[in-house]
Amino acid sequence: MPLWQLFTPKDAFTSEEKHDFATRITNIYTGPKAIESIGFSLPRFYTSVVFHEFDPHSFFVGGEPRDKFIQIEVVHIARVTETVAELNGETVEQLLAKYFVLVDEALKPYIADRGYECEFHVETAPFETWRIDGLTPPPPDSEAEKRWAKDNKSSPYTATLQTA
Amino acid sequence: MPLWQLFTPKDAFTSEEKHDFATRITNIYTGPKAIESIGFSLPRFYTSVVFHEFDPHSFFVGGEPRDKFIQIEVVHIARVTETVAELNGETVEQLLAKYFVLVDEALKPYIADRGYECEFHVETAPFETWRIDGLTPPPPDSEAEKRWAKDNKSSPYTATLQTA
Amino acid sequence: MPLWQLFTPKDAFTSEEKHDFATRITNIYTGPKAIESIGFSLPRFYTSVVFHEFDPHSFFVGGEPRDKFIQIEVVHIARVTETVAELNGETVEQLLAKYFVLVDEALKPYIADRGYECEFHVETAPFETWRIDGLTPPPPDSEAEKRWAKDNKSSPYTATLQTA
């Protein structure tokens, strides 16, 4: 997590564009810009991006085909927003405002600049049901998470690596 | 939002049928019947309907292919049900009962009348993460929402248009 | 419900393997092993399993194609975990630990044993919006649920059948 599902018209983007788009989405959550803006950086492989492509007769907006429309459904881990806002010493509204700046920047070249309409929302899943390779992901900023980030994959970790 | 995802057998419906089906679903939330029954009417383009079609060997019910079965996953904005029920002066149970009358009517010709089994549920997403074209959708019944409904698309709006 | 959506590489599994995999997933929730471990057994047809298959250029992990990766999104009915844990006289953590043993066993031959990475999470949907064939599913362990389980499909039921 985060898990992004994009519902797009068929062939809206080339393979290279989807690759670049997914990289831009991953960079919302990972790297120096993420740290500076929203105050954290996730292991890159936490972010999954899936493109569902539809024929016009399988995707309707307001009961009509609408071929310049993209639907985006995101799943975050529950309570992360509240926890991060508290750590940052800001309100959830302030954190979300900065998050949406990153989101809008990431989406701009492939959505707004190409004249696509876009509906976007985030759902949440409880932390305690989140698993990667059968493991509970380590706490934020723990030694174990740093290793996962560096390796860009999971590995078993002991309790002592759960602390920051 | 609402976002409807229908998981159906491949070629269960023709393009024309899917178009009509999506219109029926949109009419659950928009128009005079919606106002009379559930007490509100959304801009038409708020409702997205997506058809995922599956081969029998990619969709299992109880561990078996079940070719006359349709799964429906809906996402609503969180707390809308509670707020609307309060505005209508009724309980959530009363509101949902009326909502399901509309849902069952909308689904009837394509599901029950054709002998399909159907599992249905609604998930919720927090209002504060909902965006259309990079904008926070305007408050219910505001001047801005009326313009969005009339135009059947989003447009930037000022704070003064946020009031009813 | 539960509804399992698996996002897999294209042709990761044969039709027979998907069939067996879906059966294993259904057995997490139904049968003597479920009763012994997590304390309940659902009607088999409550469990839906959907396989979405993707080309490498439509599914990215950390911004890169990652062809040995499977994403699993599960939807459960909200509050079931808490209710079951209470009935079992255990904590949610204890119940989830046993649930994940069943999940890991079900996934092992098709995920871990084949070298797939896997991210997994559970979302929840409120009970009051859950419908099967236009009916509110009967209460757990009620006479009506027993009939649904035996028939492996829904049927109308009266209030007297709602009790255990």
Q: What strands lie across the sheet with A69-77, from one edge to the other?
A: B131-132, A117-125, A69-77, A3-9, A48-54, C59-61, C64-65
List the single residue in A44, A48, A51 with the smallest CB-CB distance to C119: A48
Contact A137, B145 (CB under 8 A): no
CATH class for the domain made up of C3-130 = alpha beta
> Which subunits sit against C, judged by 3+ Cβ pairs under 8 A?
A, B
**Does the structure show a pLDDT above 70 at B164?**
no
Q: What is the pLDDT along chain A (164 residues), one digit of tens a residue?
A: 999 999 999 999 999 999 999 999 999 999 999 999 999 999 999 999 999 999 999 999 999 999 899 999 999 997 788 888 999 999 999 999 999 999 999 999 999 999 999 999 999 999 999 999 999 999 888 999 999 999 999 999 987 777 66
Q: Does B124 touch chain C (CB under 8 A)?
A: yes
Average pLDDT for chain B: 94
Angle of helix C92-107 versus helix C15-29 axis, rounded to 10 = 160
Give the integer Cα–Cα distance in Å for C87 and A46.
Answer: 35
Give the integer Cα–Cα distance in Å for A82 and B125.
Answer: 15
Residue B147: the pLDDT is 97
Contact B155, A123 (CB under 8 A): no
pTM of the model: 0.96
CB spacing of C60 vs A26 below 8 angstroms: yes
Give the integer Cα–Cα distance in Å for B8 and B53.
Answer: 5
Residue B80: the pLDDT is 81
Beta strand B3-9 with C131-132 is unpaired
Q: Does A42 touch chain C (CB under 8 A)?
A: no
Count of CB atoms within 10 A of residue B160's CB?
9
Give the integer Cα–Cα distance in Å for C100 and C106.
Answer: 9
What number of residues does chain C have? 164
What's the start-to-end Cα distance of chain B, in Å? 21
Q: Does A73 touch chain B (CB under 8 A)?
A: yes
Which chain A positions have a beta carbon within 8 Å of B134's beta carbon? 100, 104, 107, 112, 118
CB spacing of B48 vs A60 below 8 angstroms: yes
Per-block mean pLDDT, blocks of 10 residues, chain C (164 long):
97 98 98 94 97 96 95 91 90 95 98 97 93 94 94 91 69
CB spacing of B66 vs C45 below 8 angstroms: yes
Query: Mind telling me how many Å the CA of B139 is from chain C's nearest CA?
Result: 24
Rounded to two decimals, the ipTM of the complex is: 0.95
Mean pLDDT for the stretch of residues B50-55: 97
Give the integer Cα–Cα distance in Å for B26 and B152.
Answer: 13
pLDDT tens digits, residue range B71-96? 999 999 977 888 889 999 999 999 99
* A3, A17, A48: best to mutate for the C interface, most C CBs within 10 A: A48
Find residue C50's DSSP bridge partners. Answer: B59, C5
Q: Does C5 touch chain A (CB under 8 A)?
A: no
Find the closest chain B residue to A115 by CA distance: B133
Beta strand A117-125 with A69-77 is parallel
Report which residue type is found at C95: L
Q: Does B134 touch chain A (CB under 8 A)?
A: yes
Q: What residues contact residue B16 under an 8 Å CB cut-off, 6+ apart?
A: none
What number of residues does chain B have? 164
Which of these, C72, C58, C69, B54, lies nearest to A52 by C-alpha position? Answer: C58
Q: Does C18 touch chain B (CB under 8 A)?
A: yes
Find the closest chain A residue to B155 by CA distance: A117
Angle of helix B15-29 versus helix B92-107 axis, rounded to 10 = 160
**Does the structure show a pLDDT above 80 at B126?**
yes
Give the integer Cα–Cα distance in Å for A6 and A75.
Answer: 12
Classify residue B54 by its DSSP letter.
E
Domain boundaries, chain B: 3-130, 138-164
